[in-house]
Amino acid sequence: MKEIDFWFTVGSTYTYLSVMRLGALEAKNKIRFNMRPFSVRQLMQEQAGNPFLNNDKKMAYMQRDVERRALLYGLAIKSPVPYPIEKFELTNQIAVLGAQEGWCREFVCRCYHYWFGEGLVAGSPVNLSRSLDDIGQDPARVIREASSVAVVEALEDATNAARGLGLFGTPNFLVGDEVFWGDDRAEDAIRFAQTGGF
């Protein structure tokens, strides 16, 4: 089965559109996505900054675009979506711990569901505890272990790897070292993986 590395950061709005579709895309295309959380914030600062926080028109457009696309995909959406997230580092450290322990995708999907579907911003105490509860993980244990030096360093290592791959945003679909950036490139990445290039 072909594999695609899904490099992402919790906190991005467009990542919502992708992460919620991974399961359906796998079933439809006989492909497997590997969850690769990293921290896009540092890479954005090294390049041209957050494209939304410095641009009120792009921010307004992004909210409407994500809303429309969520409707097209049949995803829950309660606009406007609160932005940016809270406890950015901790939330992505939890995603890293989840990748190590095998529950990354389930956590990220619950986290995004509460954020976009119910207006509970990602990283907030209520979002974190509900998301972890839903997937049978103890919030106290997870938050403690996700704050450990080992997990902090694992997220840094992932971010350094992302930098080396040339990433500058999220979400990304990687077929080998071929980068497809953005939710709207998911289908291109799948086609590329299945045909070996075009």
Name which of 56 and 196 has its Cβ closer to a second copy: 56
* CA distances, 188 to each of 102, 106, 196 (Å): 27, 24, 11
Q: Least CB distance from residue 36 to a second copy, whole Å? A: 17
DSSP per position, 11-66: TBSHHHHHHTTHHHHHHHHTEEEEEEE--HHHHHHHTT--TTTT-HHHHHHHHHHH
Name which of 32 and 69 has its Cβ closer to a second copy: 69
Q: Least CB distance from residue 141 to a second copy, whole Å? A: 37
Name which of 69 and 78 has its Cβ closer to a second copy: 69
Name which of 19 and 40 has its Cβ closer to a second copy: 40
Name which of 53 and 150 has its Cβ closer to a second copy: 53
67, two tokens: 């809303």
Neighbours of 148 (CB within 10 A): 12
Name which of 63 and 129 has its Cβ closer to a second copy: 63
Q: Write the DSSP symbol of residue 10.
A: B
Whole-angstrom distance, CA of residue 197 vs CA of residue 172: 17
Q: Least CB distance from residue 7 to a second copy, whole Å? A: 13
Letter string b/e over residues 167-197, b meaning 16 or more CB atoms within 10 A of that residue's CB: bbbbbbbbbeeebbbbbebbeebbebbeeee
End-to-end CA distance of the chain: 19
Q: Least CB distance from residue 51 to a second copy, whole Å? A: 6
Residues that bind a second copy (CB under 8 A): 47-49, 51, 54-58, 60-61, 64-65, 68-69, 71-72, 166-169, 179-182, 184-185, 188, 192, 198
Give residue 130's identity as a one-letter amino acid code. R
Q: Least CB distance from residue 57 to a second copy, whole Å? A: 4
136, two tokens: 């049978």
Q: Least CB distance from residue 71 to a second copy, whole Å? A: 5
